[in-house]
Amino acid sequence: MDLKQRVFLVSGGGSGLGAATVRRLVAEGVRVVIADLDVERGEALAAELGEATAFHSTDVREEAAVGAAIGIAVERYGRLDGAVCCAGIGWAEKTVGRESVHALASFRRVIEVNLLGTFNVARLAAAQMARQDPLPTGERGVIVCTASIAAYDGQMGQVAYAASKGGVVGMTLPLARDLARHAIRVMTIAPGLFETPLLAGLPEEVRSSLGREVPFPSRLGHPDEFASLVAQIARNEMLNGSVIRLDGALRMPPK
């Protein structure tokens, strides 16, 4: 896919990996709809990047909200060529603690945001792409989901988070197979430890210690490295139905 003049939706695009992806796509000539619950950050990023972007306050769990964000892409830019699912939440809670058992409500919320929200964006984006004329190469679009190495190496207290990201990994291939007849590709990135708002609140010595656990390069990943991979996936039409670990060969210990 030639990225110039293409149109993408980025959920969770107001901060972290999502914001880096928005910036990278715009730099590549893409028009982007930023879909995020954080209105302040989302609007600020759209204002900074100008006419190439639009913002819509979006809860990825809600069909109407995601549909409206896709509608903005079509109304303002004429079509939808890609969707990048970056919206997600973290959570830490042991299955059985010293004085408590894992709350079902917190497990459900993580699954709803990270897994159901990703599928909601993917299915509605794919429905729009399937209605459109194909690009000159025959492709109609690409969907990039965000998992985590926790899908494979979930640590103690990550049962909800690992389950949600494992679900994203597990649905990647069947999504790609479902959508192949519509010429829509599906890929997933499973990042390791990255410089995101989730880690930004930790003391510098803790962040440095986490970075040293990565075999090479021994540091936290930069959000633009994630964004760069999104762009590479969009360009390369043979990338389909797979999960790419972006983790510097890190394998997380039990705790």
Range of the domain at 193: 7-244
Q: Does a structural domain hold residue 252?
A: no
- The per-residue pLDDT for 199 is 78
Q: For residue 219, how far is the Cα from the chain centroid?
A: 21
Average pLDDT over residues 198-223: 87
Q: Does a structural domain hold residue 61?
A: yes
The share of the chain scoring above pLDDT 70, in percent, equals 100
Q: State yes or no: is 161 an active-site residue.
A: yes
| Catalytic residue selected from 77, 161, 194, 226 | 161
Domain with residue 79: its CATH number is: 3.40.50.720
pLDDT digits (tens, 9 = 90+) for 109-136: 999 999 999 999 999 999 999 999 999 9
Question: Between these two residues, 35 and 199, which has the higher pLDDT value?
Answer: 35
Q: Does a structural domain hold residue 231?
A: yes
Specify the amino acid at residue 22. Answer: V
Q: Does a structural domain hold residue 254?
A: no
Separation of alpha carbons 69 and 121, rounded Å: 10
Q: Does a structural domain hold residue 237?
A: yes
Q: What is the pTM of this model?
A: 0.96
pLDDT digits (tens, 9 = 90+) for 32-85: 999 999 999 999 999 999 999 999 999 999 999 999 999 999 999 999 999 999
How many structural domains comprise the chain?
1
Q: Does a structural domain hold residue 253?
A: no
* 15 contacts 36 by C-beta, under 8 angstroms: yes
Question: Does residue 150 carry a pLDDT above 80?
Answer: yes
Q: Does a structural domain hold residue 249?
A: no
Q: Does a structural domain hold residue 250?
A: no
Q: What is the mean pLDDT of the chain?
A: 96
